[in-house]
């Protein structure tokens, strides 16, 4: 990913892709204190537009606040930087990665006095869990790793270090031949996927773990709440057990990268009919209508670049 043409926004300037480098003594590289976002831009009839730019930028600033890091740019500058990288790299639909990290002035656990940096990159990225998974559903395994407790690394921050847990869970699941991992919280209730929120459907009602299970407050998750309301589907946030997932009618993951990905199996137990369920298909279609600018009700969620 590093050896290619294009521009990356780094600390206020567009730099050549290959030159967007940091020092090996950067504090974040050693101790993992940093925050990032995953954002997508979609091709719409009016041009390329970033989906829910405001919400993603807000979450980035909130993640930094939780980590006691002060981003040295304004909200408007960070929003504009995201538009700029999509424009500059002439991308039609893409994934964006803003990341804020602590510089290399000194090491030691306390980063006090070190500079805070910010970068934004963007590149084309298709279906995160595969095109086939989007249609047929993916196979998921309950992780042997527990999701973060709410008072450990802070679960409402999208922090760099939180992802070691996700990486371990994802590698374990994929080494075992599954597509993705599902993590349980410290009490054994369902939390989320390694990089996705979970939804299950039972008797026409849509359920998702409440945030006390340590799941990230996903922006796609919130988008699903709106879609459920539009489709007249009851949506309930509650504690969910792993066996409730086994016996639900339909399940799916959501995330900026994963979009709306159906789940056809958990721990080798078939969910529903073992394929994408009919309500999931409707929600998925409504999601793609919104992000691709085909639903005027949500036009203000799309920021043209
Ligand atoms: N949970 C985790 C652990 C994630 O990494 C993501 C992706 N950012 C999500 C949930 C979904 O969040 P969003 O819909 O805002 O991308």
Nearest atom (ligand 1) to Cα of 197: 10
Nearest to 42, CA basis, from 285, 302, 284, 220: 302
Q: Which of 58, 256, 287, 290 to mutate to test the pocket of ligand 1 (most atoms within 8 A of CB)?
A: 256
pLDDT of residue 126: 86
Residue 7 pLDDT level (bands cut at 50, 70, 90): very high
pLDDT at 102 over 90: yes
Beta-sheet pairing, 47-51 with 39-44: antiparallel
Q: Cα(144)–Cα(181) distance, rounded to whole angstroms?
A: 9
All structural domains of the chain, each given as residue ranges with its CATH number in brackets, are 7-123 (3.30.470.10), 131-291 (3.20.10.10)
Nearest to 127, CA basis, from 287, 296, 297: 287
- Within 10 angstroms of residue 238's Cβ, the number of other Cβ atoms is 11
Is there an atom of ligand 1 within 6 Å of 277 CB?
no
Contact predicate 111/102, CB 8 Å: yes
ipTM over the 0.90 cut-off: yes
Q: SS3 sequence, 254-290?
A: EECCCEEEEEEEECCEECCCCCCCHHHHHHHHHHHHH
pLDDT, tens digit, 9 for 90 and up, residues 269-291: 999 999 999 999 999 999 999 99
């Amino acid at each position: 990913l590093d050896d290619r043409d294009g521009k990356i926004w780094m600390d206020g300037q567009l730099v050549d892709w290959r030159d967007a480098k940091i020092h090996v003594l950067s504090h974040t590289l050693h101790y993992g204190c940093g925050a990032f976002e995953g954002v997508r831009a979609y091709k719409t009839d009016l041009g390329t537009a970033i989906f829910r730019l405001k919400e993603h930028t807000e979450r980035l600033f909130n993640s930094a606040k939780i980590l006691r890091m002060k981003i040295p740019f304004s909200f408007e500058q960070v929003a504009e930087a995201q538009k700029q990288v999509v424009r500059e790299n002439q991308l039609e639909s893409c994934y964006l990665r803003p990341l804020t990290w602590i510089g290399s002035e000194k090491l030691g656990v306390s980063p006090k006095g070190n500079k805070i940096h910010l970068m934004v990159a963007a590149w084309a990225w298709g279906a995160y869990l595969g095109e086939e998974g989007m249609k047929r559903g993916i196979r998921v395994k309950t992780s042997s790793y527990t999701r973060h407790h709410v008072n450990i690394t802070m679960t409402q921050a999208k922090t760099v270090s939180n992802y070691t847990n996700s990486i371990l869970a994802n590698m374990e699941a994929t080494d075992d031949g599954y597509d993705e991992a599902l993590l349980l919280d410290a009490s054994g209730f369902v939390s989320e996927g390694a990089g996705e929120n979970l939804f299950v459907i039972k008797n026409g009602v849509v359920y998702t773990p409440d945030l006390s299970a340590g799941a990230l407050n996903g922006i796609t998750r919130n988008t699903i709440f709106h879609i459920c309301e539009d489709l007249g589907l009851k949506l309930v946030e509650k504690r969910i057990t792993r066996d409730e997932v086994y016996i639900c009618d339909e399940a799916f993951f959501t995330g900026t990268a994963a979009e709306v990905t159906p789940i056809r199996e958990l721990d080798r137990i078939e969910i529903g009919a073992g394929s994408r369920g009919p309500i999931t298909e409707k929600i998925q279609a409504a999601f793609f209508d919104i992000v691709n600018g085909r639903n005027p009700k949500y036009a203000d969620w799309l920021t043209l670049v």
